[in-house]
Amino acid sequence: ALLGARFNRDCTVLALGGGVVGDMAGFAAASFQRGVDFVQVPTTLLSQVDSSVGGKTGINHPLGKNMIGAFKQPHVVMADMAQLDTLPDRELSAGLAEIIKYALLGDIEFLSWLEMHMPRLVARDAVLLAEAVYRSCLHKAKIVAADEHEHGDRALLNLGHTFGHAIESYLGYGEWLHGEAVAAGMVMAADLSHRMGWLSHADVERVRRILQQANLPVTCPDIPVEKFLALMAQDKKVLAGQLRLILLKQLGQAVITRDVEIEQIKQTILACQQQQNQEQLR
Q: Is residue 149 annotated as a catalytic residue, yes or no?
A: no
Q: How many beta carbons lie within 10 A of that of residue 109, not counting itself?
A: 9
- Catalytic residue (one of 98, 101, 180, 236): 98
- Catalytic residue (one of 101, 154, 208, 237): 154
Q: Is residue 178 annotated as a catalytic residue, yes or no?
A: yes
Q: Is residue 180 annotated as a catalytic residue, yes or no?
A: no
- Catalytic residue (one of 135, 165, 194, 195): 165
Q: Is residue 72 annotated as a catalytic residue, yes or no?
A: no
Q: Is residue 158 annotated as a catalytic residue, yes or no?
A: yes
- Catalytic residue (one of 65, 101, 178, 208): 178
Q: Is residue 98 annotated as a catalytic residue, yes or no?
A: yes
- Catalytic residue (one of 56, 72, 101, 237): 56
- Catalytic residue (one of 72, 101, 139, 140): 140
Q: Return the closest-CA partner of residue 110 out of 87, 149, 139.
A: 139
Q: Is residue 208 annotated as a catalytic residue, yes or no?
A: no
**Do residues 191 and 207 lie in contact, with contact meaning Cβ atoms separated by under 8 Å?**
no
Q: Distance (Å, rounded) from C-alpha 45 to C-alpha 5? A: 32
CA dist 65 → 59, 73, 116, 131, 266 (Å): 7, 20, 34, 30, 22
Q: Return the closest-CA partner of residue 180 out of 164, 198, 199.
A: 164
List, in sequence order, the alpha helices (H) in 107-177: 108-122, 126-146, 161-171
- Catalytic residue (one of 150, 208, 236, 237): 150
- Catalytic residue (one of 161, 194, 236, 237): 161
Catalytically annotated residues: 34, 56, 98, 140, 150, 154, 158, 161, 165, 178
